[in-house]
Copies of this chain bind each other. A is one copy, B any other.
Amino acid sequence: MSFLKIIEEVDSFKKTDAFYTLLDHKGTAPLGYIDPTIVKLLQSETAFITDHDSKTIAIDSKFDTLEKRNDMLAEVANRWRKIPELDERLNKGWRNELYIVYNPSKTEYARIERAFSVLLGVVTYGVHINGYVPPELSSNGKLKLYIPRRSKTKPTFPGMLDNTVAGGLGYPHGLKATVIKECFEEAGLEEDFVCKNIKSTGVVTYFYLTDDGRAQPEVEYTYDIIIKEDEAHFINPQDGEAEDFKLMTVDEVLERLGNREFKPNCGLVIIDFLIRHGFITAENEPDYLEIVSRSHVKFPFPTR
């Protein structure tokens, strides 16, 4: 059995002619792919210039500073909250959290409300953290992972299994601050404990097609954190996003991955963890190379 199916569910976007490319105000840098329903809405916005021949929508050249772009995008996003067909995604999904879009030079190009960024198909960023007990510290000598179940009241993927901690990278927080903030909110882990035990381990990138047909190029920085079995009581969720945390052996995790019990992108992160830790190998996974390359996609857009 191959885990490629889980990767295919996450790296699921394929560019078609129906999608238009969002360009910056100079008309040169591609920033995202916009789906047909949003293309239609943007055509009546004066701040955007649509070109059907090249299938591009550029931000008007007058938005030539970060501040002007931020103001314009906030105004459009707020006005669109009243559009009935966007109610679920934009209005109910509104987070009051800004995501950053980057220039090719890696400087900030614009800040966009999180719920609005998905409509524009721009690259979004987050952190995913695997809490685990390494074999040499484990009561039975086997590596174990701390796996929460998402609350049944979450709007997305309710009741599915998740990574120990995960969250979006919102302005103005950097990676470290986001890791500390999310570890506390989602798992109740204290800053000192996190700083002492967290380890940066890489980054996964994949191009997701959302259920409502939107392009979502995602970058998730991955971290491992050792939480010994006698430290498990440190885990004490603050925000009610997780139902419970279960300490699972790798065998159990593999079984639940196979049963598709994980939220798909968390499944991808777990697969990356199991590859790094030597459990999923080129010898037991027939699609090993494809899994690794499709978890590290290069986007046709600038990134941070």
Contacts and interface: CB of A to CB of B under 8 A. Distances in A.
A275 B106 contact: no
Given A219-B289, A289-B303, A296-B292, A283 B174 contact: yes
B296 A203 contact: no
Nearest to A205: B293
A282 B203 contact: yes
A298 B293 contact: yes
A293 B282 contact: no
Given A201-B275, A203-B282, A205-B293, 17 more contacts: A106-B286, A175-B282, A199-B277, A200-B275, A200-B278, A200-B281, A200-B282, A201-B277, A201-B278, A202-B275, A203-B289, A205-B289, A205-B292, A276-B276, A290-B303, A292-B296, A294-B298
A219 B282 CA distance: 12
Of the listed residues A202, A219, A290, A304, the one surrounded by the most CB atoms of chain B closer than 10 A to its CB is A202
Interface residues of A, number: 32
Interface string A185-207: 00000000000000111110100
A283 B173 CA distance: 12
A296 B221 CA distance: 16
A283 B199 contact: no
Interface of A: 106, 174-176, 199-203, 205, 219, 221, 275-278, 281-283, 286, 288-290, 292-298, 303-304
B203 A292 contact: yes
Given A174-B283, A175-B283, A283-B174, A199 B293 contact: no
